[in-house]
């Protein structure tokens, strides 16, 4: 090969390497907008957290993260959409407690809760507040337990529906403490809480943020919180665990998942971004202002939490013979 041919061959090689490099750089993740599916209607606490998270992720990723609300069927519609999406990191799910409850509550899920999803990060959680109507004859959790044991089957609790987190949290409490109560399910949190305030039902478990105003104006009392530790926004309210039932814990969790089979480098990119957001003081403050605890745990941490939640709610559902409506 003469000198001119060698030079031409070298130039051609450099050209193709450059084209390959540029194409790889162009295809680096992410190169377009990302959809974060929220399996609830707009405006709820899960949706609000998702939108704050999406705005922060947009800034860090350099591509728009768009929240898409896909409510229905107890979060199944939105979860199915993500399970069946291409595993390329452009369709993600805001996972939550309902997601892990459904693994046992619903018999014909169109996806496998474990096998069809990739955990990315455990973002946040919040305990439940055990609420009592202010005029009831119990002002502490112990007084409530003593009263309920003395009047078995007469204390009524409300929930947002059969199989909801508040319902199952109360089922677990009744089993743990050894109480007999009546359950009245409602179509949503609003009417369930309205009847609690009016005194037509006696007690309820739900997130404190949705009842803060009613507690502060004296219409409701918080007798306990359901997490493993005291809530920073209710420092004087004991946990159920510290009141003599150490095995009891119920939290509402939020985490990011994608479809199964996502490339490891894409998962690593998203995981890092989510963990960086969880360290952002502005994000932490926004969560604290909404009575939400930032978890900031890795993909492995989310997997561990999901496995724990699936096992916990399976036991509650089976022991209580809870049937989805």
Domain membership of residue 29 (yes or no) is no
- Domain-located, residue 61: yes
Best CA proximity match to 39, nearest among 250, 308, 254: 254
pLDDT tens for 14-25 read 444 443 444 343
- Residue tagged 């309820």 (tokens): 204
| Domain of residue 107, CATH code | 3.40.190.150
Selected residue with higher pLDDT from 12 and 75: 75
Say if residues 37 and 70 touch (Cβ distance below 8 Å). Answer: yes
Would 101 be classed as within a structural domain?
yes
Total structural domains within the chain: 2
Say if residue 219 is in the same domain as residue 169.
yes
Region 82-101: what's the mean pLDDT? 97
200 has pLDDT over 70: yes
Average pLDDT across the chain, whole number: 91
Residues 91 and 140 in one domain: no
Q: How far is 309 from 299, CA to CA, in rounded Å?
A: 15
- The residue among 243, 259, 276 that closes a domain is 243
Is the Cβ–Cβ distance between 96 and 257 less than 8 Å? no
> Of the candidates 211, 243, 275, which is a domain's last residue?
243
Whether pLDDT at 35 is above 80: yes
Q: Are residues 122 and 264 in the same domain?
A: yes
Q: How confident is the model at residue 315 (pLDDT cuts 50, 70, 90)?
A: very high
According to DSSP, residue 239 is labeled B
Which tokens in the block code for residue 145?
């337990």
Residues 6+ apart with CB under 8 A from 162: 185, 322, 323, 324, 325
99 vs 103: CA distance, rounded Å: 7
Asked if residue 237 and residue 283 are part of one domain, the reply reads no
**What pLDDT is recorded for position 26?**
41
Q: Is residue 5 part of a domain?
A: no
In a shared domain, residues 96 and 177: no
- Same domain for 167 and 267, yes or no, is no
* Residue 73 DSSP symbol: G
Taking only the tens place, the pLDDT of each residue in 215-256 is: 999 999 999 999 999 998 999 999 999 999 999 999 999 999
For the domain that residue 195 is a member of, what is the CATH number? 3.40.190.10
Neighbour count for residue 317 (Cβ, 10 Å): 20
Domain that holds residue 81: 34-126+251-319
- Of 186, 213, 243, the position where a domain reaches its end is 243
Residues 139 and 228 in one domain: yes
Q: CB under 8 Å to 19, separation ≥6 — which residues?
A: none
Q: Give the pLDDT mean for 101-122.
A: 96
Instruction: Give the pLDDT confidence of 155-189 residue by residue, as tens digits.
Output: 999 998 899 999 999 999 999 999 999 999 988 77
The answer as to whether 202 is a domain residue is: yes
Residues composing the chain: 325
Q: Are residues 301 and 160 in the same domain?
A: no
Same structural domain for residues 231 and 260?
no
CB-CB contact of 237 with 222 (8 Å): yes
The pLDDT tens digits of the residues spanning 52-84 come to 999 999 999 999 999 999 999 989 999 999 999
Residue 6 inside a domain? The answer is no
Q: What percent of the chain has pLDDT over 90?
A: 80
88 and 167 in a common domain: no
pLDDT in tens, 258-314: 999 999 999 999 999 999 999 999 999 999 999 999 999 999 999 999 999 999 999
Same domain, 104 and 164: no
Predicted local confidence at residue 17, as pLDDT:
47
pTM above 0.95, yes or no: no
């Amino acid at each position: 090969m003469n000198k001119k041919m060698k030079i031409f061959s070298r130039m051609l090689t450099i050209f193709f390497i450059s084209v390959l490099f540029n194409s790889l750089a162009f295809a680096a993740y992410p190169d377009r907008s990302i959809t974060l599916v929220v399996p609830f209607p707009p405006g709820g606490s899960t949706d609000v957290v998702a939108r704050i998270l999406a705005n922060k992720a947009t800034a860090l990723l350099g591509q728009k993260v768009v929240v898409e609300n896909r409510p229905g069927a107890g979060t199944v519609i939105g979860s199915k959409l993500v399970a069946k999406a291409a595993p390329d990191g452009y369709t993600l799910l805001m996972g939550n407690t309902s997601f892990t409850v459904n693994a046992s509550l619903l018999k014909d899920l169109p996806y496998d809760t474990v096998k069809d999803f990739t955990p990315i990060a455990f973002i946040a959680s919040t305990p439940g507040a055990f609420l009592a109507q202010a005029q009831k004859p119990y002002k502490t959790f112990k007084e409530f337990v003593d009263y309920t044991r003395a009047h078995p089957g007469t204390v009524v609790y409300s929930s947002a529906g059969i199989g909801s987190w508040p319902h199952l949290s109360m089922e677990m409490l009744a089993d743990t403490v050894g109480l007999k109560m009546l359950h009245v399910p409602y179509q949503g949190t609003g009417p369930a809480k309205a009847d609690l305030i009016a005194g037509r039902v006696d007690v309820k478990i739900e997130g404190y943020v949705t009842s803060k105003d009613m507690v502060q104006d004296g219409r409701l009392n918080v007798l306990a919180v359901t997490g493993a530790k005291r809530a920073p926004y209710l420092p004087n309210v004991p946990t159920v665990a510290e009141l003599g039932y150490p095995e009891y814990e119920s939290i509402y969790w939020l985490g990011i998942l994608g479809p199964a089979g996502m490339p490891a480098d894409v998962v690593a990119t998203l995981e890092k971004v989510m963990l960086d957001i969880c360290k952002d003081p502005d994000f932490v403050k926004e969560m604290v202002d909404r009575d939400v605890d930032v978890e900031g745990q890795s993909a492995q941490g989310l997997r561990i939490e999901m496995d724990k939640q699936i096992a916990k709610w399976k036991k509650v559902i089976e022991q209580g013979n809870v049937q989805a409506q």
